Amino acid sequence: MKLQQLKYAIEIAKCGSINIAAKKLYITQPSLSNAIHDLEKELQITIFERTNRGVSLTVEGAEFLGYARQVMEQTELLEKRYFNAKPSPQNFSVSTQHYAFAVNAFVDLIKTYGLDEYEFNLRETKTYEIIDDVKNLRSEIGILYINDFNEKVLNKLFKENNLKFTELFVADPHVFISKTNPLSDKKVVMLEDLEEYPCLSFEQGEYNSFYFSEEILSTLSHKKSIRVSDRATLFNLLIGLNGYTISTGVISSDLNGTEIIAVPLEVTERIRVGWIAHKDITLSQLAVQYLLSLNEAIQN
């Protein structure tokens, strides 16, 4: 087993594709495939499952990648200490539902470390893809919510993919609306108050199940409904169409300005926001610092 093979395996997991990883590593796809095949043969495990859509980690592969990442981090420290080698850029990735506090924590992480070189990824994405990213180690941390409605389905997925959910906070549901919305003067909004306003939600693509919705009460029908794919578009529609979306009530004026406000929604549901990570992986220093920044962002 060679350090180069560990590097190759880590890059494939990050890219989710042997072809893309080969281009980033500046080697041919057959050479990369052969290197991983030789590694799997030597270790007598299957690291990656190959499909027409790319590759995904096996349970054994995820455990192996956890050790491989630690070996590569220690190798870099040795090279830096004894060979005066230039350290490679720091890598860190987060996949999250569309939460401003997750972005604030990401900003704080970068400012705290003050790195000269880094390759970070922040993916605001679909619920199923968050789970898939963390399962396949494309992201160390995934941020999403569970509640009474979806927890049985999501917990089953967590267990099947060897992931652990850690709660960050419990929120009472709020509606995000424009400060010019006629409902903005209300101290509490009822569901019937919302009937004439467009309901905005994040589309979930191929896995568009009620259980993967980013918004609670996903089974309710609406006279006016709009699905969007990004947070900026959603906020523009909140303002332009007097729409609303249901979320945690945690909002950032630094990132989103002061045009959007949060008003409590009169329902019995609770939102448990938390993070997921692979059970077999020791979190990197960057991941630990990000979680600290995440808690600070929530408190603020």
More confident call, 41 vs 53: 41
**Domains present along the chain, CATH in parentheses:** 1-88 (1.10.10.10), 170-270 (3.40.190.10)
Share of the chain above pLDDT 90, in %: 49
Query: Is the pLDDT assigned to residue 85 strictly greater than 70?
Result: no
Residue type, 110: I
Cα–Cα distance, 53 to 268 (Å, whole number): 41
Residues 6+ apart with CB under 8 A from 170: 270, 271, 272, 273
Query: Is the pLDDT assigned to residue 139 strictly greater than 70?
Result: yes
The predicted structure's pLDDT at residue 254: 65
- pTM for this structure? 0.77
Residue 95: band (very low, low, confident or very high) from pLDDT cuts 50, 70, 90: very high
In the chain, what is the straight-line distance between the N-terminal and C-terminal CA atoms, in Å?
Answer: 47
How confident is the model over 141-158, as pLDDT tens digits?
999 999 999 999 999 999
The predicted structure's pLDDT at residue 285: 86
Cα–Cα distance, 267 to 225 (Å, whole number): 20
Residue 283: band (very low, low, confident or very high) from pLDDT cuts 50, 70, 90: confident
Query: Is the pLDDT assigned to residue 220 strictly greater than 80?
Result: yes
Query: Is the pLDDT assigned to residue 53 strictly greater than 80?
Result: no
